[in-house]
A and B are shown apart, each in its own frame.
Chain A
Amino acid sequence: MADETHTLHSLTLAAMARGLSGGDFTATELTRHLLARVETIGKDLNAFISVTADAALASAAKADKARASGKAGKLNGLPIVHKDLFCTRGVLTTCGSRMLENFVSPYDAAVVERLQDAGAIMLGKTNMDEFAMGSSNETSYFGAVKNPWDTSLSPGGSSGGSAAAVAARIVPAASGTDTGGSIRQPAALTGTVGIKPTYGRVSRYGMVAFASSLDQAGVITRSAEDAAMLLSVMAGFDPRDSTSVNHPVPDYVAGLAAPVKGLKIGIVRQHFDAGLDPQCATAVREALAALEAQGAVLTEVDLPNLDLSVPTYYVVAPAECSSNLSRFDGVRFGYRAEDPKDLMDLYCRSRGEGFGAEVKRRIMTGTYVLSAGYYDAYYLQAQKVRQLISEDFRNAFATVDVIAGPTAPTPAFAIGAKTDDPITMYLNDIYTIGANLAGLPGISIPCGFAGKLPVGLQLVGAHFAEQKLLACAHQYQQLTDWHEQGPEAFA
């Protein structure tokens, strides 16, 4: 037993589930083992903002009891960590911001609640770009997260803490949120699986809003199978979120067996333009060839307005964020400036001191594009382009099942390399943003290496085509072992 528990962390979520139900180890043993890694490796990587060890051990004991009495839920005793913008009752929920440095949520987010109800055990809350605004995790008030593959590099963002924790085998699964690529890009940069479901598939209730029309919750795992297990529990209609969709939730795990043969995969020519790192391009092309060898049919599709997605996103997302973040005013919760001399001073200093530079940049951009005299030229125009981009995808999905390509233009980059130039940073999301603007599901899976750094393959599907994405990813993972390779330093 001792030998077995020594390598528990290397198991996938599915393997852990089998081990728990087979009685190979208990939830308490598993939790204790992983908490030790949270405390050590988690700290080294700066992947966590909060660790909820006591509550986790209490939940583990309960899970063991439930299993003994035959009342084990779907995810009974399985570990999870949450990105720190999911509200967790009685636990700090900081959003990586000084503004919420001391904010303890009085309620649980829908995602947290659903996973907990299925028996999952929360070990802690992960670091992230402040209010999910960033692609490198460097905008966090709690400092940058390190990439387990090379600790001088960024794990990407904004769900960087979640991706790093999974990549370093601290936990097999972490929740994330994706507004412009915040699950898929860090998954690509850390060699993990990251899925962003269809907009409306998972409830946003209790997810602190960045850009409400783009935000969607998902997971980062090491295998497509694990992602399917979690998504089956997380997905579904929630009357507390008016934008959640009442659409049946299939058994994503059962659907994994669907073969790739005959799957029509669309390739977008612009994805392989000069902006893409050549080594990444090679890895992605090889992955596509492997799928083709299994019987998938590759065809070229055109997304004529794709190059407008980044500018469109950087109008829509800041506009919504400028309004969403107005509630952080120092009046009812969160950071409040000391000794304000009047109301305006309270507002200005609480927000001035509570928010970091990138958040302020986006609030100002968003305020500008919504202002009288600029609204039509920016916000309204962006909404029109967003429609065009959605139509491009709709047309493409009339002929193909999924669109495949690179997740990010480069492998992981050095911490500090892009912080001086927001535009270069924004371009990191060039391949992922389209799915958010169109509300489509997307998944990133490891597909090889550029040097010693992992490369991600992105699959995007039509609305509610998560099952196709997961099956395709799972079948690919039956052929390859990229997803089983982890950073040696944290084996």
Chain B
Amino acid sequence: MKSGWEVVIGLEIHCQLATRSKIFSGASTAYGADANVQACLVDLGYPGVLPVLNEEVVRMACKFGLAVNASISPRSVFARKNYFYPDLPKGYQISQYELPIVAGGELVIRLDDGSDKRIGITRAHLEEDAGKSVHEGFGQFSGIDLNRAGTPLLEIVSEPDMRSAAEAVAYMRKIHSIVRYLEISDGNMQEGSFRCDANVSVRPAGQQKLGTRTELKNLNSFRFVEKAINFEIARQIELLEDGGKVTQETRLYDSLRDETRPMRSKEEANDYRYFPDPDLLPVEIAADYIEHVRQTLPELPDAKKLRFTDQYGIRPDDAEILIVSRALADYFEMLAGETAATAQIAANWAIGELSAALNRDGLDIEQSRIPPAQLAGLLDRLTDQTISGKIAKEVFEAMWAGEGSADSIIDAKGLRQISDSSAIEAIVAKVIAAHPEQVAEYQSGKDKLIGFFVGQVMKESRGKANPEQVNEILRQKLQES
């Protein structure tokens, strides 16, 4: 970012809650059904139907509020946001407006320089999603799919506390991690279960007054959030440096062109005429209910990270990576618990080989081809020096390919490490005999050549020789010859 400017960013994250039925009806929320088969009369806004609040969304919102140290409102109110759009069946969206269910929370993000930063959460409120307009395949008409209408959303509004696109992404990732820990959202961004709007403004460094902001709509990947915000920052700074003014407006990010552009002003000229929805009672939450929900909270990412460094003694940076997903953290703990290897080795493998293999095959940790107990078997052989680190990677790939347990692969492929010193001595003798020139050089002081000899021995043993023993025997024999 150009110096002399300060960036101010606030995010509104729309998180789809993982309920089985909709927020105000009994219709299913499952993704991917044929158009309009998961919309009941309530979702279709038929004359005479009434909304009935799904209690599960209240529980989920409470969990979120507690996880970010927010207060849970003893009384929150659903309001109607009135506007006409074909995919909004009732002509209004039911949302919380003046009295949201969650108010005043915070979380901590880790910055690139390793320091921590607190980000305030203004509020989180419950609302229903609208349907979807389909503009392709209907000639001059548009199609409407109301399967999504009435899907429960938690809209999480941050304070304007972020100062760069990277901070915004770190915040969004943290929220993503928390809602997945709480199991209140699947966080699936491709399916639109987790998306955000970003409010972006810039001001001269040191200025108190906020600059005019623009709102970037519907960003549905971490990468797009970063790119859209960076584009918008550059656009605003350039505009201001050229003596222009930023217009307060809503802009859309076009990922194909990597640019933001204003939405049609018509779409913005709405006066939503919010008022309390008379079909729904205020949501009243008792203190003992909140306590009950608090008892059900899982260990959250920050606490888990602390525990991982304390209990397992692994590097804080590794702990940070492991805790991003609750499933990965669980995998690590099972692995560390089952293997004789150190926890740091378990962490290295979970973050390294395992994550790489999952990424390569596009799998979630839950779908890992190697369960933790099996991977533990491999790390045990590494630790008791049955195999070397290099061989271990080979065995891992074979396990990933479904060839069996570590032990059976090691035996079947004859990969057991050679630790018998007489066998290693024989190979060493062969290597020394084959390279008289290098032996002479070594003996005249070129110590670095030890690496060459180790390599030759390992090659000759097809990687199976115990590297430490090889080193020791080589040094001894090279002295002697």
Q: Which residues from 13 to 64 on chain B have a C-beta closer than 8 Å to any C-beta of chain A?
A: 41, 44-53
State A243–B52 Cα separation when bound (angstroms).
Answer: 9
Size of the chain B interface, CB-CB below 8 angstroms: 28
Closest A residue to B47 by CB, please name it.
Answer: A208
A272 within 8 A of partner (CB): no
Residues of A within 8 A of B279 (CB): 209, 212, 242-243
Whether A375 contacts B275 in the complex (CB less than 8 A), given A87-B47, A331-B86, A331-B144, comes out as yes
State A375–B91 Cα separation when bound (angstroms).
Answer: 19
Residues of B within 8 A of A331 (CB): 86, 89, 144
Judging by beta carbons under 8 Å apart, are A323 and B86 in contact? Answer: no
Residues of A within 8 A of B271 (CB): 371-372
State A86–B48 Cα separation when bound (angstroms).
Answer: 8
A490 within 8 A of partner (CB): no
Judging by beta carbons under 8 Å apart, are A329 and B91 in contact? Answer: yes
Judging by beta carbons under 8 Å apart, are A319 and B275 in contact? Answer: yes
Q: Which residues from 59 to 91 on chain B have a C-beta closer than 8 Å to any C-beta of chain A?
A: 80, 82, 84, 86, 89-91
State A468–B102 Cα separation when bound (angstroms).
Answer: 44
Tell me, rounded to whole Å, the shortest Cβ–Cβ distance linking A40 to chain B. 31
Judging by beta carbons under 8 Å apart, are B273 and A323 in contact? Answer: yes
Judging by beta carbons under 8 Å apart, are B82 and A370 in contact? Answer: yes
State A432–B90 Cα separation when bound (angstroms).
Answer: 30
Residues of A within 8 A of B274 (CB): 370
Overall SS of chain B's interface: loop
Q: Which residues from 273 to 323 on chain A have a C-beta closer than 8 Å to any C-beta of chain B?
A: 319-320, 322-323
B432 within 8 A of partner (CB): no
State A100–B47 Cα separation when bound (angstroms).
Answer: 10
Residues of A within 8 A of B84 (CB): 326, 329, 347
State A152–B364 Cα separation when bound (angstroms).
Answer: 77
Closest A residue to B26 by CB, please name it.
Answer: A240
State A331–B86 Cα separation when bound (angstroms).
Answer: 7
State A109–B49 Cα separation when bound (angstroms).
Answer: 9
Whether A332 contacts B44 in the complex (CB less than 8 A), given A243-B281, A323-B91, A323-B92, comes out as yes
A335 within 8 A of partner (CB): no
Judging by beta carbons under 8 Å apart, are B47 and A323 in contact? Answer: no
A323: which of B49, B50, B275 is its contact (CB, 8 Å)?
B275
Judging by beta carbons under 8 Å apart, are A109 and B48 in contact? Answer: yes
Residues of B within 8 A of A328 (CB): 47
Judging by beta carbons under 8 Å apart, are B50 and A204 in contact? Answer: yes
Tell me, rounded to whole Å, the shortest Cβ–Cβ distance linking A88 to chain B. 10
Judging by beta carbons under 8 Å apart, are A367 and B273 in contact? Answer: yes
Most central of A106, A109, A204, A326 by chain B CB within 10 Å: A326
Judging by beta carbons under 8 Å apart, are A209 and B82 in contact? Answer: no
Residues of A within 8 A of B90 (CB): 326-327
Q: Which residues from 237 to 296 on chain B have a C-beta closer than 8 Å to any C-beta of chain A?
A: 271, 273-275, 278-281
Whether A87 contacts B48 in the complex (CB less than 8 A), given A212-B279, A323-B91, comes out as yes
Q: Which residues from 77 to 129 on chain A have a C-beta closer than 8 Å to any C-beta of chain B?
A: 85-87, 93, 95, 100, 103, 105-107, 109
Please encode chain A, from 190 to 204, with 1 for each CB lying within 8 Å of some chain B CB and 0 for all others: 000000000000001
Tell me, rounded to whole Å, the shortest Cβ–Cβ distance linking B466 to chain A. 72
A377 within 8 A of partner (CB): no
Closest B residue to A334 by CB, please name it.
Answer: B47
State A329–B91 Cα separation when bound (angstroms).
Answer: 8
A379 within 8 A of partner (CB): yes
Whether A327 contacts B47 in the complex (CB less than 8 A), given A240-B52, A242-B53, A242-B279, comes out as yes
Closest B residue to A368 by CB, please name it.
Answer: B273
Tell me, rounded to whole Å, the shortest Cβ–Cβ distance linking A385 to chain B. 16
State A41–B454 Cα separation when bound (angstroms).
Answer: 112
Judging by beta carbons under 8 Å apart, are A333 and B46 in contact? Answer: yes
Most central of A106, A242, A320, A367 by chain B CB within 10 Å: A242
Residues of B within 8 A of A319 (CB): 275
Tell me, rounded to whole Å, the shortest Cβ–Cβ distance linking A142 to chain B. 17
Residues of A within 8 A of B86 (CB): 329, 331, 343
Judging by beta carbons under 8 Å apart, are A213 and B278 in contact? Answer: yes
Tell me, rounded to whole Å, the shortest Cβ–Cβ distance linking A337 to chain B. 14
Closest A residue to B83 by CB, please name it.
Answer: A326
Residues of B within 8 A of A371 (CB): 271, 273
Residues of B within 8 A of A24 (CB): none
B47: which of A95, A240, A320 is its contact (CB, 8 Å)?
A95
Judging by beta carbons under 8 Å apart, are B275 and A205 in contact? Answer: no
Closest A residue to B90 by CB, please name it.
Answer: A327
Residues of B within 8 A of A343 (CB): 86
State A178–B218 Cα separation when bound (angstroms).
Answer: 44
State A85–B91 Cα separation when bound (angstroms).
Answer: 20
Most central of B48, B51, B82, B275 by chain A CB within 10 Å: B48
Tell me, rounded to whole Å, the shortest Cβ–Cβ distance linking B321 to chain A. 46
The 5 closest A-B pairs by CB, nearest first: A326-B91, A370-B273, A213-B278, A212-B278, A206-B48
> Besides the contacts A205-B49, A326-B91, what 18 more A-B pairs have beta carbons closer than 8 Å?
A87-B47, A93-B48, A103-B47, A206-B48, A209-B48, A242-B51, A319-B275, A323-B92, A323-B273, A327-B46, A327-B89, A327-B90, A329-B86, A329-B91, A332-B89, A370-B273, A370-B275, A375-B275
Between A and B, 25 residue pairs with Cβ closer than 8 Å are A93-B47, A93-B48, A106-B41, A205-B50, A208-B47, A212-B278, A240-B50, A242-B50, A242-B280, A243-B278, A243-B281, A320-B278, A326-B92, A327-B46, A327-B89, A329-B84, A329-B86, A332-B45, A332-B46, A333-B47, A347-B84, A371-B271, A371-B273, A372-B271, A379-B275
A→B interface (CB under 8 Å): 85-87, 93, 95, 100, 103, 105-107, 109, 204-209, 211-213, 239-243, 319-320, 322-323, 325-329, 331-334, 343, 347, 367, 370-372, 375, 379
